[in-house]
Amino acid sequence: VSEHAVNEKGHLLIGGIDSLELAKTYETPLFVYDLSLIRARARAFLDTFKQENVVAQVAYASKAFSSVAMYQVIEQEGLSLDVVSAGELYTAIKAGYPAERIHFHGNNKSVEELILAMEHKIGCIVVDNFYEIELLKQLTVKLNQKVKVLLRVTPGVEAHTHDYITTGQQDSKFGFDLMNGQADKAFQQVYKDEFIELLGLHCHIGSQIFETIGFKVAAEKLITKMIEWENTFNYACTVLNLGGGFGIKYTEQDTPLEPSIYVKEMVIAVKDLVSKANLDMPEIWIEPGRSLVGDAGTSLYTIGSEKEVPEIRNYLAVDGGMSDNIRPALYGAEYSAAIANKMGELKEVEYTIAGKCCESGDKLIEHITLPKASPGDILAVFCTGAYGYAMASNYNRIAKPAVVFVENGRHQLAVKRETLEDLVRLDLPFTLEKGRG
Ligand code: LLP
């Protein structure tokens, strides 16, 4: 917390703006994104590829947080975009995202989704399974239109924070297994197809990864397969997509690497493998989500009730909770926080931060030491920019928070707060006759 900027009033600053002013202007709970951090990350990824002289695409995995304004900021930075549903694709199109820089993922894309993607002539479809190949063959003929694709494969590498495991086969709902012939079969079904242009291979080995070894092992497995296909079928893949998963620092225990380190080590490994095999250097594509927007986001809540459970804990309740951040309840995810209007005060009380949902598991942070809190204080929970708003729900008919962007002392609303009226907007009155037997 000490690294956070604070003004003379002892208030937390976000993007140069007093967070108390933001809370007052936009009310709470509120997601605040500091755009300068997102831009810095985007540039770090892109610049490193440039320095290494590698043709690359850095696609924002927008499942981490998507909205029209966010897509527009990402577009300004020259990134590509990874979408996983008609909803994300539609939002990106509405935002004016150049379709040729959009990549479409998913293990069960519908016909309607594939048609939407083709109508907009998006850059690439990441093909996940045999059913999808079938659908694409039918649709490309029917619409008389070519598509560019990557094949998503599971390389038998699973990475999570400090560990990575390699297995012969991966139990995953995604992609073609690289080891058991599925990927070969998929390759043979598409590489000669006159409408399907196969660009290369894709894999995604996990999330919140702190090491580079998993990416290197995965790269080796994919490149080995590319070499095999080039030798056997005389077909050269030109794209190697190594997915996302670069970690961020939620708490002191987390030890992520700099974006430049992930990229550099990846590039060194790929260059090495490629030169040994006398292969042309492929384009390297990556898909960071969390590492682009995660620590740029801060959640602001108003503190309300407090309950002491003697000798166990003090619950401090905020005006949001698992409805705007499901990650602690779902994954046991940990966060750090501060009282935004008491940044200079001594931390002397241990609290458990509870949400307002009717569920005992609705705790945002267990055991955090903060200055003595009072109702009306503003709690800032840090690093909530990825998979926070994106996974928010209306559980308990709680309205979704607003989202604000700040940059260089300026601020703007990016997503409006839901209203009570919004919550009943899709509801219809009961019109059947009152049931009798
Ligand atoms: N590419 C693919 C194919 C993915 O499936 C994902 C994430 C990413 C890229 C981006 O990964 P990132 O860089 O954000 O780690 N809801 C979970 C995370 C789910 C990640 C799913 N796939 C969480 O809150 O931790």
- Convert the pLDDT of each residue in 185-200 to its tens digit: 999 999 999 999 999 9
> CA end-to-end span of the chain, whole Å?
63
pLDDT score, position 210: 96
pLDDT in tens, 46-104: 999 999 999 999 999 999 999 999 999 999 999 999 999 999 999 999 999 999 999 99
Which residues does residue 302 pair with via DSSP β-bridges, in sequence order?
A: 378
pLDDT greater than 50 at residue 16:
yes
Q: Which domains does the chain have, with CATH numbers?
A: 13-29+297-384+401-420 (2.40.37.10), 35-293 (3.20.20.10)
- Ligand 1 site-directed mutation target among 38, 63, 125, most atoms within 8 Å of CB: 63
Residues with CB under 6 A from ligand 1: 61, 64, 82, 105, 204, 207, 243-246, 287-291, 327, 331, 386-387
Nearby residues of 422 by Cβ (< 8 Å), 6 or more positions away:
399
pLDDT score, position 437: 62
pTM of the model: 0.97
**% of the chain exceeding 90 in pLDDT:** 94
1 pLDDT tier (thresholds 50, 70, 90):
very low
How many CB atoms are located within 10 Å of the residue 187 CB? Answer: 23
pLDDT in tens, 270-324: 999 999 998 899 999 999 999 999 999 999 999 999 999 999 999 999 999 999 9
pLDDT score, position 193: 98
Question: Mean pLDDT, the chain, as a whole number?
Answer: 96
Provide the b/e sequence for 400-424 (b: ≥16 CB within 10 Å).
Answer: bbbbbbbbeeebeebbebbeeeeee
Residues 22-30: what's their mean pLDDT?
Answer: 98
pLDDT greater than 90 at residue 2:
no
* Ligand 1 atom at minimum distance from 391 CA: 16
Q: Using an 8 Å Cβ cutoff, are 320 and 27 in contact?
A: no
